[in-house]
């Protein structure tokens, strides 16, 4: 139980402000005779040219994040020269705003400057543990949300040439990326969506840049988030749940090149691909394009091999068909030759038969004609009577007194007509 101060004041017997401040100072110094260890977050930090470090420490509320306690603190030059290098060597981060510290402080009070804390020691392991705790919480939350592998499962466009970049335009890492990718022979199309990459506003700035890219999703093949190194505390930004959740659920594959060689951030874990540096991102993109060229060359080689194999197979088939055609032609020619020989023989036989038949017919006709010759007719007892004009006479052309020439077998007779008699018509 705290013993109240034995002070009596009235309107006529009051204390001066200085007296009250001395009493407060005396009370605090009496109550806090030894240094105490406290945990708090650094909300502001300023290193004076004199070498003294001035800080503002806060304890934020659990719900809305508003400070529920706040105090000024100082690290004197002599202590800062010892504590700052040790903290940076142990944690890989410089003392800066946003870091949560476990510090040993001397409670002080000044009549003019009021309450303040003099920091005489810092436990770096607490800061490391706090960073790791937040990191684990982010990972567990992303896994609970079911979004951890979503960006991993996206397929990269082929070829991957249209690159949306989230980076600061003045960052050395961005310049390194552009310089490296310019060395490749491919026509990459780079579009920068400028963003802060450190500081209190960096988280929202990165998220805003990603949202702008999402609005133009069809214009890009991949997103590259680039930051060229920094302290552990600076890079702790990429353990942010909000940024990691946006990357995990982003509709395009995301490649990170945050530039830290020792640790892998949560954003690296959920991204489609993770590279150590911005230069490595450019190299990876060039290698992806190389792979496409190699694949095209390989497919072209396979197509050529397949075509040559198909042509060879068809050539063999054609040669086989040509041989078969030649064989069939020979067979057909032989068959036709046999048929022609058979027809020729038949034709000769028919011709001989026809000639023989015609010869017989001619002989018969000859015999018939010969049998009808004048000599043969005369030999049968017939005669041929002609008048003086050589005309074969008929009874109508002969008159009494005409001179006639009569041919008979063996000779001729000249006679004169004494009388003519016409034969009566037979019924």
More confident residue, 177 or 388: 177
Determine what percent of the chain is predicted with pLDDT higher than 70. 94
Write a three-state SS string for the chain: CCCCCCCCCCCCCCCCHHHHHHHHHHHHHHHCCCCEEEEEEEEEEEECCCCCEEEEEEEECCCCCCEEEEEEEEECHHHHHHHHHHHHHHHCCCCCCCCEEEEEEEEEEECCCEEEEEEEEECHHHHHHHHHHHHHHHHHHHHHHCCCCCCCCCCCCCCCCEEEEEECCCCHHHHHHHHHHHCCCCCCEEEEEECCCCCCCHHHHHHHHHHHHHHCHHHCCEEEEECCCCCHHHHHHHHCHHHHHHHHCCCCCEEEECCCCCCCCHHHHHCCEEECCHHHHHHHHHHHHHHHHHHHHHHHHHHHHHHHHHHHHHHHHHHHHHHHHHHHHHHHHHHHHHHHHHHHHHHHHHHHHHHHHHHHHHHHHHHHHHHCCHHHHHHCCCCEEECCCCCECCHHHCCCCCEEEEEECCEEEEEECCCCCCCCCCC
- Quote the pLDDT of residue 233: 58
CATH of domain 136-290: 3.40.50.280
Among 105, 103, 107, 104, CA closest to 26: 107
pLDDT higher than threshold 80 for residue 392 = no
Question: 376 pLDDT band (50/70/90 cuts)?
Answer: confident
Vertex 11: Cα angle to 8 and 13 (nearest 5): 50
Q: What are phi and psi of 117, to 5 degrees?
A: -125, 130
What average pLDDT score do residues 352-360 get?
88
pLDDT higher than threshold 60 for residue 298 = yes
Distances (CA, A) of 339 to 103, 324, 332: 120, 22, 10
Question: 425 pLDDT band (50/70/90 cuts)?
Answer: low
- Look over the chain and give the mean of its residue pLDDT values, rounded to a whole number: 87
Burial degree of 241 (CB within 10 A; 0-12, 13-18, 19+): middle
Determine what percent of the chain is predicted with pLDDT higher than 90. 44
- Quote the pLDDT of residue 264: 83
- Quote the pLDDT of residue 5: 66
Whether domain 17-122 has CATH 2.40.50.140: the reply is yes
- Quote the pLDDT of residue 271: 96
- Quote the pLDDT of residue 66: 75
Hey, where are the domains in the chain?
Answer: 17-122, 136-290, 375-416
**Tens of pLDDT along 221-274?**
999 999 876 655 567 788 889 999 999 999 999 999 987 656 688 999 999 999
- Quote the pLDDT of residue 354: 87
**Distance in angstroms (rounded) separating the CA atoms of residues 123 and 135:** 19
**Tens of pLDDT along 192-202?**
999 998 877 88
- Quote the pLDDT of residue 118: 94
More confident residue, 100 or 372: 100
- Quote the pLDDT of residue 64: 58
**Distance in angstroms (rounded) separating the CA atoms of residues 243 and 206:** 7
Burial degree of 406 (CB within 10 A; 0-12, 13-18, 19+): middle
Residues whose CB is less than 8 angstroms from the CB of residue 252 and which lie 6 or more positions away in sequence, other chains included: 154, 164, 213, 214, 217, 220, 221, 222, 223
**Distance in angstroms (rounded) separating the CA atoms of residues 388 and 392:** 10
Do 17-122 and 136-290 share a fold?
no
Question: 4 pLDDT band (50/70/90 cuts)?
Answer: low
Question: 104 pLDDT band (50/70/90 cuts)?
Answer: very high
pLDDT higher than threshold 60 for residue 367 = yes
Listed ranges 97-101, 134-138, 308-312; the one with the highest mean pLDDT: 308-312
Among 89, 61, 243, 72, CA closest to 166: 243
Structure tokens of 127?
């800061």
């Amino acid at each position: 139980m705290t013993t109240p101060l034995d002070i009596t004041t009235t309107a006529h017997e009051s204390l001066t402000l200085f007296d009250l401040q001395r009493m407060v100072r005396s009370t605090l110094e009496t109550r806090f005779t030894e240094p105490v260890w406290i945990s708090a977050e650094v909300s502001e930090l300023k290193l004076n040219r004199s070498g003294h470090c001035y800080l503002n420490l806060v304890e934020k509320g659990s719900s809305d994040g508003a400070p529920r306690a706040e105090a000024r603190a100082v690290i004197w030059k002599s202590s800062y020269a010892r504590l700052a290098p040790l903290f940076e060597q142990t944690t890989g981060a410089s003392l800066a705003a946003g870091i949560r510290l476990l510090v040993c402080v001397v409670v002080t009070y000044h009549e003019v400057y009021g309450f303040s804390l003099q920091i005489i020691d810092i436990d770096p392991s607490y800061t490391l543990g706090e960073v790791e705790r937040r990191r684990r919480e982010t990972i567990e939350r992303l896994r609970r949300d079911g979004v951890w592998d979503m960006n991993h499962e996206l397929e990269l466009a082929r070829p991957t040439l249209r690159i949306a970049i989230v980076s600061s335009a003045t960052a050395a890492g961005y310049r390194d990326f552009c310089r490296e990718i310019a060395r490749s022979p491919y026509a990459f199309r780079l579009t920068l969506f400028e963003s802060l990459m450190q500081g209190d506003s960096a988280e929202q700035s990165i998220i805003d840049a990603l949202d702008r890219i999402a609005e133009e999703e069809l214009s890009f093949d991949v997103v590259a988030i680039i930051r060229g190194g920094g302290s552990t505390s600076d890079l702790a930004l990429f353990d942010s749940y909000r940024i990691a959740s946006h990357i995990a659920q982003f509709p395009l594959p995301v490649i990170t090149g945050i530039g830290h060689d020792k640790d892998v951030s949560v954003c690296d874990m959920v991204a489609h691909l993770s590279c150590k540096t911005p230069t490595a991102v450019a190299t990876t993109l060039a290698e992806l394009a190389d792979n496409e060229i190699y694949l095209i060359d390989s497919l072209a080689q396979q197509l050529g091999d397949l075509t040559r194999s198909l042509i060879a197979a068809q050539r063999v088939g054609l040669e086989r068909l040509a041989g078969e055609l030649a064989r069939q032609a020979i067979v057909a020619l032989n068959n036709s030759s046999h048929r022609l020989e058979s027809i020729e023989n038949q034709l000769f036989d028919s011709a001989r038969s026809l000639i023989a038949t015609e010869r017989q017919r001619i002989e018969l006709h000859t015999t018939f004609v010969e049998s009808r010759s004048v000599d043969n007719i005369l030999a049968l007892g017939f005669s041929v009577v002609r008048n003086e004009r050589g005309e074969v006479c008929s009874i109508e052309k002969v008159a009494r007194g005409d001179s006639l020439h009569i041919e008979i077998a063996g000779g001729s007779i000249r006679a004169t007509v004494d009388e003519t008699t016409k034969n009566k018509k037979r019924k």
